[in-house]
Amino acid sequence: MPNEKGELFFNQGKFLEAIEENKWLIIDEINRADIDKAFGQLFTVLSGQNVELPYKENGKSIKIIRWDKAECKHDKENATYYIGNNWRIIGTMNVDDKDSLFDLSYAFMRRFMFIEIDLPKEEDYKNLISFWSSVLDDEYRDKLVALYDIVKYRKLGPAIFKDMVEYIKFRKELSDDSKDLIIAEAISSYIIPQFEGLNRKKLNAIREFFANLELIEYLEDEIDEMIPKF
């Protein structure tokens, strides 16, 4: 990093910070960056090899070393980071839009175990929505629970509904607008963007879905703009 004089100095990032604090490193949406380039020399660490970085600490070259102990630590005096057997990197990625993001190289992927995590079961998913929306009026809660069926057209994680509840809680205090309008605004902000890339058939089905929920008057233009014009 540059200092006030424009000179470069070493500043540890999250990778080394996690090692120093003996914590696992979680990288959300790991395929939204060219991860091979982002890791640089740290990529070699994932193969179990020791690495000497082109930076110095206390006048000594910084090293990352694997050792047989369980914990991780940072020896500042010797400018050495020790990676223990307990250390892990967890990366998350959304496979639905992976074609528009960076590909993970085979060299990178073979250093990880891949675990597919599906959506919660319908009952559990609806219970989450109902629990989060319990702070709202029954009409809001019932409409949000009914929105669950949108996952038939695009898999959406439940966190989106949590964000929608927070938006509605804030938005309904600002004016006396109708509940349908406020819900439609939340849908427009958090759900509609997830439909990017869907085909005409699915988008028309979604249009009908919102019509059955009596929300289409607020969302029709946005959905029509997404339908391919050919």
Q: Compare 197 and 63 and report the one with higher pLDDT.
A: 63
Spatial distance between the Cα atoms of 178 and 134, rounded to a whole number of angstroms: 19
Across 45-49, 105-109, 147-151, which has the greatest mean pLDDT? 147-151
- Least confident range of 14-23, 53-62, 149-158, 211-220: 53-62
Q: Give pLDDT, residue 97.
A: 60
Strand ranges (E), the chain = 25-27, 51-57, 60-66, 73-75, 80-83, 89-91
Q: Give pLDDT, residue 228.
A: 73
pTM higher than 0.75: no
Look at residue 171 and tell me whether its pLDDT is greater than 80: yes
- The encoded tokens of residue 205 equal 């089905």
DSSP state of 99: G
What are the distances in angstroms from CA 121 to CA 65, 126, 151, 194? 43, 9, 11, 20
Determine the average pLDDT of the residues in 92-108.
Answer: 72
pLDDT band at 230 (very low <50, low <70, confident <90, very high): low
Strand ranges (E), 60-177 = 60-66, 73-75, 80-83, 89-91
Q: Compare 103 and 15 and report the one with higher pLDDT.
A: 15
Q: Give pLDDT, residue 101.
A: 61
Spatial distance between the Cα atoms of 109 and 95, rounded to a whole number of angstroms: 14
Q: How many helices (H) and strands (E) does the chain have?
A: 10, 6
Determine the average pLDDT of the residues in 181-210.
Answer: 93
Look at residue 100 and tell me whether its pLDDT is greater than 60: no
- Give the type of residue at 46: L
Q: Give pLDDT, residue 216.
A: 92
Cβ atoms within 10 A of the Cβ of 17, count? 13
- The encoded tokens of residue 37 equal 């380039």
Percentage of the chain lying above the pLDDT 90 cut: 60
Q: Compare 57 and 121 and report the one with higher pLDDT.
A: 121
Only one residue has tokens 């630590």, namely 73
12-47: pLDDT as tens digits? 889 999 999 999 999 998 888 888 788 777 888 888
- The encoded tokens of residue 140 equal 């809001």
Q: Compare 183 and 55 and report the one with higher pLDDT.
A: 183
Q: Give pLDDT, residue 110.
A: 85
Pairing of strands 51-57, 60-66: antiparallel
Cβ atoms within 10 A of the Cβ of 98, count? 12
